[in-house]
Amino acid sequence: MITSLKRIIKSGWLSFSRDGGLSFATIFIMAMAVFLIVSLFLFKDVNQFLISSIQEKVDISVYFKESVAEEAILNIKEEISKIPEVKDVEYVSKEMAMGDFVKKHESDPILMESLTEIGGNPFLASLNIRAFGASQYEAVANFFKKTELENLIEKIDYYQRKSVIDKIFSLTSTIKNGGILLSLFLAMVAILTTFNTIRLAIYNTREEIKVQRLVGASNWFIRGPFIVQGAIFGILASLICLLLFTFACWAIGSRLEIFFPGLNLFKFFINNFWALFLVQLGGGIILGIISSLIAIRKYLRV
């Protein structure tokens, strides 16, 4: 048993090293396939980050009348937080609204001059409310139609923003579904590319397989070297992919963060290095072995 295993491993290594050009091409193509697999792993998190970032920008504001005390608004905030549809609620006082406006428009002298001429704080205290889904904002807005609350409300901007909210959540749904379809497509490309490449490598040794069958070698003894060869392809491809992936994340990580603040691919790569490495190594070995097993079946049929 041990002797047969040694022969299989040795034969697999000799098959790998004998045709350096084809082996190099196979490893390179497999590295690209493994790169696609790891990209799926990374794309899932990037996709979720983009969806969360977009949804975080969606909210509705409830503005209270000038006469409503801060304590009353805070009590309403606590009551709203208990609604199942509500993700979070933020209280914005008149002073905070004034400060945000000045900070945002301090470089616009016309607006600043207009604010000075008003001679006071024209802003109203408000609650900024975020829900879990677009369809839930209407339920939140209807909550304020209670008689005891409606008399305290100056304005709810949900109805003016409804179309925008629906479009944003529709966009995030499209991104999510598109990500799933893209992942399936890339996975199929990776598998088919690897399979066809290894099948070509096995095709070059078809005469040797015929001879082994003629002398009575078992199917598993014939398969063994190709399984070893496929594993070697997978290991080397995963190491090459690791180098490519490290460079790619380093090169585009900081540039991507300019367009999507908080999204740093290189930082994510470093924080998840071992998980990504195991995905690459496991994906490469599994792709190599399974592709070898499928590709050699044709030559083992009686």
Per-residue confidence (pLDDT) for residue 226, from 0 to 100: 76
Last residue of a domain, one of 151, 178, 207: 151
Regarding whether 141 and 75 lie in a shared domain, the answer is yes
Regarding whether 198 and 111 lie in a shared domain, the answer is no
Regarding whether 174 and 49 lie in a shared domain, the answer is yes
Report if residue 267 sits inside a domain: yes
Regarding whether 274 and 183 lie in a shared domain, the answer is yes
Distance CA 177, CA 97 (A): 38
Regarding whether 192 and 83 lie in a shared domain, the answer is no
Structure tokens at 297: 């079946």
- Split at pLDDT 50, 70, 90, the class of 87 is confident
Per-residue confidence (pLDDT) for residue 5, from 0 to 100: 67
Regarding whether 145 and 32 lie in a shared domain, the answer is no
- Give the chain's domain count: 2
Structure tokens at 287: 């792709």
Check pLDDT > 70 for residue 131.
yes
pTM above 0.85, yes or no: no
Check pLDDT > 70 for residue 130.
yes
CA angle centred on 241, ends 239 and 245, rounded to 5°: 120
Report if residue 206 sits inside a domain: yes
More confident residue, 268 or 125: 125
Report if residue 176 sits inside a domain: yes
Q: Any idea what the CATH number is for the domain that residue 129 is in? A: 3.30.70.3040
Residues spanned by the domain of 174: 2-54+170-300
Per-residue confidence (pLDDT) for residue 291, from 0 to 100: 76
Report if residue 227 sits inside a domain: yes
Regarding whether 232 and 261 lie in a shared domain, the answer is yes
Regarding whether 282 and 182 lie in a shared domain, the answer is yes
Report if residue 164 sits inside a domain: no
Regarding whether 94 and 14 lie in a shared domain, the answer is no
Per-residue confidence (pLDDT) for residue 187, from 0 to 100: 66
CA angle centred on 168, ends 167 and 173, rounded to 5°: 95
Report if residue 38 sits inside a domain: yes
Regarding whether 138 and 89 lie in a shared domain, the answer is yes
Report if residue 197 sits inside a domain: yes
Of all helices (H) and strands (E), which one includes residue 144? Answer: none
Q: 215-224, 258-267, 281-290 — which one is most confidently predicted on average?
A: 281-290
- The closest of 182, 86, 80, 186 to 136, measured between CA atoms, is 86
Regarding whether 47 and 76 lie in a shared domain, the answer is no
Last residue of a domain, one of 123, 151, 179: 151
The DSSP line for 95-109 is: HHHHHHHHHHHTT-H
- Split at pLDDT 50, 70, 90, the class of 200 is confident
Ranges 69-73, 177-181, 223-227, 286-290: which has the least confidence: 177-181
Start-to-end CA distance of the chain, whole Å, equals 25
Per-residue confidence (pLDDT) for residue 300, from 0 to 100: 67
Task: Give yes or no for a contact between 58 and 132, defined as CB atoms under 8 angstroms apart.
Answer: no
Report if residue 81 sits inside a domain: yes
